[in-house]
Amino acid sequence: MKTFHNPLHAAHAGRQEMFRGRMVPSYEVPERLEYVLAELRRRPLGELLEPEVGEAALEQALLRVHTGAYLEFLRGAWQAWVALDPDNAQRDALPSVWPLGHRHAFRMDAPTHHFAARLGQHAFDAGTPLTAGSWAAARAGAGCALAAAREVLAGARGAFALTRPPGHHAGPDYFGGYCFLNNAALAAQALRDGGCARVAVLDVDYHHGNGTQTLFYERPDVLTVSLHGDPATEYPYFLGFADERGAGAGQGCNLNLPLPRGSGFEAWSEALERALREVCDFGAQALVVPMGLDTFAGDPISGFTLRGEHYLRVGERLARAGLPTLFTFEGGYAVAELGANAVNLLQGFEAGAAGGSAGG
Ligand SMILES: [Zn+2]
């Protein structure tokens, strides 16, 4: 399969994040993607390409998923941050105040102009540093997702969007969880717009794909399924529970499979089987897999215990669903093992796809 990688990803390099009451070095670092690229050169899956997506097509695609106001905010955020204080050029922007949605507590529609307030309106955590290069990097990453979608629409069995920064926590007009633009949602929407009547998103990152869920929550044409650490104890805490099944026309088109911290491959695989049954029953014509590798036992901020060889089996199992499949790169913070784990999963997929699939 072809891999589309982001030539501008390293422009987004956060210095620090707020983590459990302390400022710590960012976990989501450029080296993550470099390890995956190095492993892909060692164990090639196919061509490594930079995406070629025109400006106009990219703008149009971004507006299918995110609001114009949010995109404008991201585009000008760094400039506005430095305008507050020239010394801000030496530090990343992190929010420190948020408008909670409680009745009569705060005006969600307040005509705020100060950058600190606007940052709080568009961010849901203080773990996602916005840097001088965040917009350029996120935008180019979104281009990878679109290029991969085109590849699948042209008939490819699989495609890999090696996106960084990741995307699955980003919603219509907010960022968080290291994510600014929702690459998986952009890919799913591009597949829909390109003629796939029904698309399924199966998120295997350790953390619930809250942004993707929210974006498609009332949609009957895109199924969203997520296997993740139980939000009762795990980030992002406020979404990802089993009783969230979609709403309106999208009722029944969302499935969350939360698992307790400490879960191993056996319990995880059972949840994967359940997820794939849902994808099959939905009648999806294409599958998008937000591929997080933070389910790995050695991950420093997560709590499942999958091992390297398990990812081969995960890839094989995903291939047996028999669907054209697009992978986006999401979390995974055991940086040195990240390349091997990611390529294991993709190689497993390739092997499973080559071995022939019964389909469904
Ligand atoms: Zn994650």
pLDDT at 109: 80
pLDDT at 356 over 60: no
Q: Is the pLDDT of residue 123 over 80?
A: yes
Instruction: Output the furthest CA–CA distance in the chain (Å, rounded).
Output: 61
Give the pLDDT confidence of 216-230 residue by residue, as tens digits.
Answer: 999 999 999 999 999
Dist. CA 227 → ligand 1 center (Å): 11
How far out from the chain centre does Cα 280 lie? Answer: 22
CA–centroid distance, 303 to ligand 1, in Å, is 10
- Distance from C-alpha of 140 to C-alpha of 278, rounded to nearest angstrom: 32
In this prediction, residue 251 carries a pLDDT of 98
Options 5, 122, 169, 310, the catalytic residue:
169
pLDDT at 358: 37
- Per-residue model confidence (pLDDT) at position 20: 87
State the average pLDDT over residues 243-272.
98
Q: How far is the CA of 182 from the centre of ligand 1 (A)?
A: 13
Q: For 289, how many CA atoms within 13 A lie in the half-sphere containing its CB? A: 27
Please say if the pLDDT value at position 168 is more than 80. Answer: yes
Q: What confidence tens digit (pLDDT) does each residue in 292-310 have?
A: 999 999 999 999 999 999 9
For residue 73, give the nearest of 147, 208, 170, 212 by alpha carbon.
170
Q: What is the pLDDT of residue 357?
A: 42
pLDDT score at 265: 98
Q: pLDDT tens digits, residue range 6-41?
A: 999 999 999 999 998 999 999 999 999 999 999 999
Cβ of 6: how many Cβ atoms within 10 Å?
Answer: 28
Amino acid at 203: D
Q: Is the pLDDT of residue 110 over 90?
A: no
Q: What is the 3-state secondary structure (H, E, C) of the chain?
A: CEEEECCCHHHCCCCEEEECCEEEECCCCCHHHHHHHHHHHHCCCCCEECCCCCHHHHHHHHHHHCCHHHHHHHHHHHHHHHHHCHHHHHCCECCCCCCCCCCCCCCCCCCCCCHHHHHHHHECCCCCCECCCHHHHHHHHHHHHHHHHHHHHCCCCEEEEECCCCCCCCECCEEECCECCCHHHHHHHHHHHCCCCCEEEEECCCCCCHHHHHHHCCCCCEEEEEEEECCCCCCCCCCCCCCCCCCHHHCCCEEEEEECCCCCHHHHHHHHHHHHHHHHHHCCCEEEEEECCCCECCCCCCCCCECHHHHHHHHHHHHCCCCCEEEEECCCCCHHHHHHHHHHHHHHHHHHHHCCCCCC
Note if 169 is an active site residue: yes
Dihedral angle, C-alpha 303, 163, 33, 157, nearest 10 °: 90
- For the chain, give the percent of residues with pLDDT over 70: 99
Q: Is the pLDDT of residue 281 over 70?
A: yes
User: For 240-251, how does the pLDDT look when each residue is reduced to its tens digit (9 = 90+)?
Assistant: 999 999 999 999
- How many angstroms is it from 134 CA to the middle of ligand 1? 19
Mean pLDDT across the chain, nearest whole number? Answer: 96
pLDDT value, residue 103: 87
Mean pLDDT for 250-277 is 98
**Distance of CA 151 from the midpoint of ligand 1 (Å):** 26
Nearest to 330 by CA among 165, 214, 134: 165
Instruction: State in Å: Cα 196 to ligand 1 middle.
Output: 28
With a cut of 50, say whether residue 75 has pLDDT above it.
yes
pLDDT single digits (tens) 195-217: 999 999 999 999 999 999 999 99
Could you tell me the CA-to-CA distances from 288 to 22, 185, 336 in Å, in that order? 35, 9, 26
pLDDT tens digits for range 150-160: 999 999 999 99
Arithmetic mean of pLDDT, 132-156: 98
C-alpha of residue 281 to centroid of ligand 1, in Å:
27
**pLDDT for 112:** 84
Q: Which residue is associated with the tokens 């009547």?
A: 197
Report CA(114)–ligand 1 centroid distance (Å). Answer: 31
Q: Cα(257) to centroid of ligand 1, in Å?
A: 15
301 Cα–ligand 1 center, Å: 9
